[in-house]
Amino acid sequence: MDKSEKIALFLGVCMLSLFFFAVLISAKVFKQDVPECITPDQIFTEGELVEIEPGKLYQLKYLSKMWAFEPAEVTIPVGSDVDIYLASQDVVHGFYLRGTNVNMMAVPGALNKKSMHFSKPGIYPIYCHEYCGTGHQFMKGKIIVTP
């Protein structure tokens, strides 16, 4: 092997190691994880908040459609654990919950799930971050966490 090939191989291995280290740091230190993608028998057709354990555990079914999230506004108490399920009725939409690490894609025919613990009261705006048509800028929602 030529000297320049050895240097290129060494740099490639170093960069790959750095990349894996960055992913590990992101997963462990910043608690970033990948949303689960569930292949359901039937995707829900209406968004709703389902209380599993009163005041503690909720299932939040979000339906994204042109150009709204359903339900548009949800109120839960602080300290709640919420399993967020996301489906799309029509096209690909984005789902970004500001102030958290919840960032998902709503793909027609698929169901995404992300679990979240809301430890601070406040208003958490939801934005669509994937261009979905002419009314995309109006596609918003919010989760209100009350003390």
pLDDT, one tens digit per residue, over 94-133 is: 999 998 889 999 988 888 899 999 999 999 999 999 998 8
Output the pLDDT for position 78.
Answer: 95
Q: Which of 52, 84, 53, 55 is nearest to 71 (CA)?
A: 84
State how many domains the chain has.
2
| Domain boundaries, position 91 | 37-146
Q: Which of 89, 87, 117 is nearest to 102 (CA)?
A: 117
Same domain, 84 and 126: yes
Q: 67: cis peptide before it, omega within 30°?
A: yes
What burial letters (b/e) apply to 28-50, b meaning 16+ CB within 10 Å? eeeeeeebeeeeeeebeeebeee
Q: Which of 34, 42, 33 is nearest to 111 (CA)?
A: 42
Same domain, 17 and 66: no
Question: What mean pLDDT is predicted for residues 63-76?
Answer: 92
Output the pLDDT for position 62.
Answer: 94
Taking the complete model, does pTM exceed 0.85, yes or no?
no
Output the pLDDT for position 82.
Answer: 95
Same domain, 91 and 21: no
Same domain, 19 and 80: no
Question: The domain that contains 109 carries what CATH number?
Answer: 2.60.40.420
Residues sharing a CB contact under 8 Å with residue 61, sequence separation 6 or more, in sequence order: 44, 46, 47, 48, 49, 50, 85, 87
pLDDT tier, 34 (very low <50, low <70, confident <90, very high otherwise): low
Same domain, 42 and 99: yes
